[in-house]
Chain A
Amino acid sequence: MTKIFVDGKAYEVKADQSLLQACLSLGLNLPYFCWHPALGSVGACRQCAVKQFRDEKDTRGRLVMSCMTPAADGTRISIEDAEAAAFRKGIIEGLMLNHPHDCPVCDEGGECHLQDMTVMTGHDYRRTRFPKRTFHNQYLGPLINHEMNRCIQCYRCVRYYREYAGGHDFDAFSSRSQVYFGRYQDGVLENEFAGNLVEICPTGVFTDKTLKRHYTRKWDLQFGPSVCVHCGLGCNISAGERYGTLRRIVNRYNGEVNGYFLCDRGRFGYEFVNSAERLKQPLQRQDGKLQPISKARALEALAGLLADPKKVIGIGSPRASLEANYALRALVGADRFYTGLSASAARLTAVALEMLRRGPARTPSLGEIERADAVLILGEDVTNVAPRMALALRQSVRQQPMRKADQLKIPRWLDHPVRELAQDQKGPLYIATPAATRLDDVATETYRAAPDKIARLGYAVAHALDAGAPDVAGLSEAERSLAARIAEALKSAERPLVVSGPSLNSEAILQAAANVARALSAAGRAPSLSLTAPECNTLGVTMIGGGSLADAFQAVKSGSADTVIILENDLYRRASARAVDEFFSSARHIVLLDSVTTPTVQKAELVLPAATFAESDGTLVSSEGRAQRFFEVYPPVGEIQSSWRWLRDIMMAAGRREAAAWQDLDAVVASVSDGIPALAAVAQAAPSASFRLAGAKIPREPHRYSGRTAMLANINVSEPKPPEDSDSSLAFSMEGVFAQPPASLIPFFWSPGWNSIQSVNKFQEEIAGPLRGGDPGVRLLEPSAAEPRAYFTPASEPTSGSAGEWLLVPLYHIFGSEELSRLAPGIAELSPQPYVALNPEDANALGVQEETSVTLSLESVSRTLPVKLMPGLARGLAGLPAGILPIEGSGLPAWSRISRA
């Protein structure tokens, strides 16, 4: 800690930060533009000027940029100094010379950092009368809108996009007053994290194009603190609604998870909630067609179906909350509950869970992944499977080069010199995958091979780290020396990390990753092991426990069950169509609860409309093992309700009185916590519904929320009573106390004078640190102190097909592979069409070109697909797009012949 004096007052602040960061951490208001906590200081905009004094006697002082000046012990500054204040006001006036007067039609209006800073500096009168420079705007894709006239040249966008996110198709052009931020020519921004430009830009140059289609000002949105459902990482989001439709997603800072950034799937995938595919009322199959029925009739019908409870099984879902899955388990009984995971996913998740529980490696948070200083990725295309992690890994390669800056005593926050010093140097990142990945540009080395060979490389790395770890035979000299280099890099790191996961359906890869982690531990390191999870609650439903989908199929086949209740799950994404069809035809009754229309809906006898994440509350367990609560953004419309409420109602209808206790979420959470020892801590994921802030509920709406008395006047001129929320301490209202709620209950970030999302400054214990009171979520997985398990032993030979066969492997796509976000128009537009990918040389050998139709066989079903040439794909492999073709449950990798159609 160091002591600084601001306007004559002494403060204790953390050392190693800039004066700007120190002042903001103290809660002082100091305007800035080019600085961003994740990007550091460059001193470009001159907005954060303060007066610095040599000592107590110095009365003249000098202007310094607070972002470029360290908060050294004894520093004396004045923010209020008249000269400094006039300087800051002058800077804004300069920036405003070319800024248009278009706030009323600008999507940023009302949450604009430029507006906030202009008000803060007191620049309230425009003296300039000259014409403003104007630009042509570009088409940047279906997700982001471009309006360059509003630009104030802070350079944050280009620093974020190029230096932080690693994009190459965006830059600053021209010079002086003509500086232009955009692409060389119109086109979709290629970077998967481009959506963060919307929040990085301090004004309205980059705005959310999906929001534009149903635009609502921030102050008119009703928000819920939520958790992203589009992958397993559990990024925290703040979702906003108006008039019963979800309008947008913004980042909800969580210092340990997503920090300041989201991926574009998470930010723009939300539109599935508003999609035409939503199920809105109970449906019953009559004369072969699904017909709407009332809730009462649906429950009556269900009570009939459940007459013999011994014949009923439940199929849960990795995309449904713990509460919903648990309620289903309670309805059917623990031994008749199935997780809904495919056989292979269930097995791999169980293996992963056991590894993380037994240790010795610990599962890191995304924040810790960012701070890792040597990384080995085994088998995962991180950008396309767990996107936000890729952004964290991209920062991890800066860790080692930054030590050079430390040695030269260049503070890490001084961004430009630190990057200049590092030049192109990157810390160790080794990537072993079947195909090229979007992180290859920062990789030390890449290894492209079939899943089995990737596993064998991992085993070899473990052996190189610890001779006690089993070795693999038959590696080439090149592979062996690569393994030695990887081992050396991991061993000499302070915070080594191994990333792996189930994407390639390979238990051997997971075991190899565990061996590397175990060997690192044997070598005296404290390794981290991050295993991706395919869906938002894969880990959670596995912790609840239950058989796989294959076991459920068996239960019906064997005749021990004939009625199936399926929770938020499209079985056609989990098993081959043949197996699912067979299952559906042998089951007598199929009941489905889901939010969207899927192929499974077409097989159901009874369909109940379930709420999406936006209309329900619940808890999800991320791949880190962090249980996080998501809260309703707005009440469900019509007959839609949370799955756990449907399941409770079904139990009640069937005469199961114990369900009467489940009147609100807390009661279900308590049941989960009591019923599943591994989930005992989930109640701590967020405060209960009885929590009150200064005696009142927490408003979901900003206090400026307008039109409440009039917005439903077309239905009834009397203003209806706001809906009550018995499930949380949040209110569907703007009424309440303006005070900071506990971190897990912050619906949106706002603070007086800080209308933009940068108001998060006011909610943190220190800038870029944890939210006050600790970041949201509770970690459920810590490695046990017991003796770590023995090393896994590799198979003696990699599998091989017969002559002329190709190994089909799944390839993942950030846009397209995930089930729900595909229903969002913007994401759908960016999704690829079905293909089979081949290495160009392999294609050449086969005599096929791009777009040539070829036939292959998958689970003895023949498929014809166009060829896509993929230079980075390992030889001998054929890649199929996961989630775009129904291949999840089909046991890939598998061998097949490929021939010209």
Chain B
Amino acid sequence: MLSPEERHEIEEELERYPTKRAVSIDALRIVQRRRGWVSDEALRDVAELLEVSVDEMDSVATFYNLIFRKPVGRHVIMVCDSVSCWIMGYDRIREHLTKRLGIQLGETTPDGRFTLLPIVCLGTCDHAPAMMVDQHLHRDLSPEKIDGILAEYP
């Protein structure tokens, strides 16, 4: 069941678009912002509200790599593996992260604190290598800096 707040927020979005279907991405983001991810149940609820089939809604949800269809940790780390970051030492960043967190890319720490995901570009090539944790961009990374950054996210 969508919470009254989620429903209200989605309905507000509906007013901005000519068709209900057009709200698909926004609706998924609203749900994800509150729950961290989009479960099968939430997906069905959103599909019902927007009068599209679950298949159609999941097609949208799975297309976007920032809509999570599996549970994620409290904080999501997206480490850039695109070309500039790769040149500037992405490998070391990734190695440090996986070692420190004890998980591989695509996994969540057992304590549910972090999920580590690769991302193709964060648009900050002049400050490569870079990663994003939740909504915050961290640039000019080095393995040494990482521990300090992680500590900011309890």
Q: B-contacting residues of A (Cβ < 8 Å)?
A: 168-175, 180, 183-184, 423-424
Q: Report if B3 contacts A (CB, 8 A).
A: no
Closest-by-CB residue of A relative to B53 is: A168
CB <8 Å contact, A184 and B54: yes
CB <8 Å contact, A184 and B63: no
Nearest Cβ on chain B to A420's Cβ, whole angstroms:
13
Majority SS of interface residues in chain B? helix
Residues of A within 8 Å of B64, CB to CB, are 175
Other-chain residue from B53, B54, B59, B65 in contact with A172 (beta carbon distance below 8 A): B59
CB <8 Å contact, B56 and A175: no
CB <8 Å contact, A174 and B63: yes
Residues of A within 8 Å of B53, CB to CB, are 168-169, 171, 184
Nearest Cβ on chain B to A153's Cβ, whole angstroms:
13
Considering the chains assembled together, what is the distance between the CA atoms of A175 and B67 in angstroms?
12
CB <8 Å contact, A169 and B62: no
Q: Report if B135 contacts A (CB, 8 A).
A: no
Considering the chains assembled together, what is the distance between the CA atoms of A174 and B63 in angstroms?
4
Considering the chains assembled together, what is the distance between the CA atoms of A173 and B58 in angstroms?
7
**Residues in B105-137 with C-beta less than 8 Å from chain A:** none
Q: How many A-B contacts at CB < 8 Å in the complex? A: 32
CB <8 Å contact, A168 and B55: yes
CB <8 Å contact, B55 and A183: yes
CB <8 Å contact, A171 and B55: yes
CB <8 Å contact, A184 and B65: no
Residues of B within 8 Å of A170, CB to CB, are 55
Considering the chains assembled together, what is the distance between the CA atoms of A170 and B53 in angstroms?
9
Closest-by-CB residue of B relative to A158 is: B59
Q: A-contacting residues of B (Cβ < 8 Å)?
A: 19, 52-56, 58-59, 62-65
Residues of B within 8 Å of A180, CB to CB, are 62
Most chain B CB within 10 A, of A173, A175, A424, is at A173
Nearest Cβ on chain A to B38's Cβ, whole angstroms:
13
Residues of A within 8 Å of B19, CB to CB, are 423-424
Considering the chains assembled together, what is the distance between the CA atoms of A172 and B57 in angstroms?
11
Closest-by-CB residue of A relative to B44 is: A184
Closest-by-CB residue of B relative to A424 is: B19
Nearest Cβ on chain A to B54's Cβ, whole angstroms:
5
Nearest Cβ on chain A to B5's Cβ, whole angstroms:
26
Nearest Cβ on chain B to A141's Cβ, whole angstroms:
15
Most chain B CB within 10 A, of A170, A173, A180, A184, is at A184
Considering the chains assembled together, what is the distance between the CA atoms of A175 and B66 in angstroms?
12
Residues of A within 8 Å of B54, CB to CB, are 184
Considering the chains assembled together, what is the distance between the CA atoms of A168 and B62 in angstroms?
16
CB <8 Å contact, A173 and B56: no
CB <8 Å contact, B55 and A175: no
CB <8 Å contact, A175 and B58: no
Closest-by-CB residue of A relative to B54 is: A184
Residues of A within 8 Å of B56, CB to CB, are 168, 171
CB <8 Å contact, A174 and B62: yes
CB <8 Å contact, A169 and B55: yes
Considering the chains assembled together, what is the distance between the CA atoms of A245 and B22 in angstroms?
51
Across chains A and B, which 6 residue pairs bring their CB atoms closest together, nearest first?
A: A171-B59, A168-B53, A184-B55, A173-B62, A174-B62, A171-B55
Nearest Cβ on chain B to A180's Cβ, whole angstroms:
8
CB pairs A–B below 8 angstroms (25 shown) = A168-B52, A168-B53, A168-B55, A169-B53, A169-B55, A171-B55, A171-B56, A171-B58, A171-B59, A172-B59, A172-B63, A173-B63, A174-B62, A174-B63, A175-B62, A175-B64, A175-B65, A180-B62, A183-B55, A184-B53, A184-B54, A184-B55, A184-B58, A423-B19, A424-B19
Nearest Cβ on chain B to A695's Cβ, whole angstroms:
55
Considering the chains assembled together, what is the distance between the CA atoms of A180 and B69 in angstroms?
15
Closest-by-CB residue of B relative to A190 is: B53
Nearest Cβ on chain B to A264's Cβ, whole angstroms:
19
Residues of B within 8 Å of A172, CB to CB, are 59, 63
Nearest Cβ on chain B to A161's Cβ, whole angstroms:
10
Nearest Cβ on chain A to B137's Cβ, whole angstroms:
23
Residues of A within 8 Å of B63, CB to CB, are 172-175
Considering the chains assembled together, what is the distance between the CA atoms of A654 and B59 in angstroms?
69
Nearest Cβ on chain A to B113's Cβ, whole angstroms:
27
Nearest Cβ on chain B to A455's Cβ, whole angstroms:
33
Nearest Cβ on chain A to B139's Cβ, whole angstroms:
26
| Extra inter-chain contacts (5) besides given A169-B53, A184-B54, CB under 8 Å | A168-B55, A168-B56, A172-B63, A175-B62, A423-B19
Nearest Cβ on chain B to A44's Cβ, whole angstroms:
15
Residues of A within 8 Å of B65, CB to CB, are 175
Nearest Cβ on chain A to B57's Cβ, whole angstroms:
8
Considering the chains assembled together, what is the distance between the CA atoms of A674 and B58 in angstroms?
62
Closest-by-CB residue of B relative to A172 is: B59
Residues of B within 8 Å of A423, CB to CB, are 19
Nearest Cβ on chain A to B98's Cβ, whole angstroms:
21
Considering the chains assembled together, what is the distance between the CA atoms of A169 and B56 in angstroms?
7
Residues of B within 8 Å of A183, CB to CB, are 55
Residues of A within 8 Å of B59, CB to CB, are 171-173
Nearest Cβ on chain A to B87's Cβ, whole angstroms:
22
Residues of A within 8 Å of B52, CB to CB, are 168
Considering the chains assembled together, what is the distance between the CA atoms of A171 and B58 in angstroms?
9
Residues of B within 8 Å of A424, CB to CB, are 19
Residues of A within 8 Å of B58, CB to CB, are 171, 173, 184
Closest-by-CB residue of B relative to A171 is: B59
Considering the chains assembled together, what is the distance between the CA atoms of A172 and B55 in angstroms?
9
Considering the chains assembled together, what is the distance between the CA atoms of A174 and B58 in angstroms?
9
Considering the chains assembled together, what is the distance between the CA atoms of A168 and B47 in angstroms?
12
Nearest Cβ on chain A to B55's Cβ, whole angstroms:
4
Nearest Cβ on chain B to A10's Cβ, whole angstroms:
45
Nearest Cβ on chain B to A15's Cβ, whole angstroms:
35
Considering the chains assembled together, what is the distance between the CA atoms of A184 and B52 in angstroms?
13
Nearest Cβ on chain B to A423's Cβ, whole angstroms:
8
Closest-by-CB residue of B relative to A173 is: B62
Considering the chains assembled together, what is the distance between the CA atoms of A174 and B55 in angstroms?
12
Nearest Cβ on chain A to B22's Cβ, whole angstroms:
10
Closest-by-CB residue of B relative to A181 is: B59
Closest-by-CB residue of A relative to B120 is: A176
Considering the chains assembled together, what is the distance between the CA atoms of A423 and B56 in angstroms?
16
Residues of B within 8 Å of A184, CB to CB, are 53-55, 58
Considering the chains assembled together, what is the distance between the CA atoms of A25 and B64 in angstroms?
40
Considering the chains assembled together, what is the distance between the CA atoms of A183 and B58 in angstroms?
9
Nearest Cβ on chain A to B67's Cβ, whole angstroms:
11
Residues of A within 8 Å of B55, CB to CB, are 168-171, 183-184
Nearest Cβ on chain B to A176's Cβ, whole angstroms:
9
Closest-by-CB residue of B relative to A180 is: B62
Nearest Cβ on chain A to B44's Cβ, whole angstroms:
9
Considering the chains assembled together, what is the distance between the CA atoms of A172 and B59 in angstroms?
6
Nearest Cβ on chain B to A197's Cβ, whole angstroms:
15
Considering the chains assembled together, what is the distance between the CA atoms of A170 and B19 in angstroms?
21
Nearest Cβ on chain A to B49's Cβ, whole angstroms:
16
Closest-by-CB residue of B relative to A162 is: B56
Nearest Cβ on chain A to B17's Cβ, whole angstroms:
12
Considering the chains assembled together, what is the distance between the CA atoms of A424 and B18 in angstroms?
11
Residues of B within 8 Å of A175, CB to CB, are 62-65
Closest-by-CB residue of A relative to B63 is: A175
Nearest Cβ on chain B to A646's Cβ, whole angstroms:
51
Considering the chains assembled together, what is the distance between the CA atoms of A200 and B64 in angstroms?
27
Considering the chains assembled together, what is the distance between the CA atoms of A130 and B54 in angstroms?
34
Closest-by-CB residue of B relative to A174 is: B62
Residues of B within 8 Å of A169, CB to CB, are 53, 55
Nearest Cβ on chain A to B85's Cβ, whole angstroms:
19
Nearest Cβ on chain B to A424's Cβ, whole angstroms:
7
Closest-by-CB residue of A relative to B64 is: A175
Nearest Cβ on chain A to B148's Cβ, whole angstroms:
34
Most chain A CB within 10 A, of B19, B53, B58, is at B53
Nearest Cβ on chain B to A157's Cβ, whole angstroms:
13
Nearest Cβ on chain A to B97's Cβ, whole angstroms:
23
Residues of B within 8 Å of A173, CB to CB, are 58-59, 62-63
Nearest Cβ on chain B to A483's Cβ, whole angstroms:
29
Considering the chains assembled together, what is the distance between the CA atoms of A183 and B55 in angstroms?
6
Nearest Cβ on chain B to A206's Cβ, whole angstroms:
16
Considering the chains assembled together, what is the distance between the CA atoms of A170 and B59 in angstroms?
9
Considering the chains assembled together, what is the distance between the CA atoms of A171 and B64 in angstroms?
15
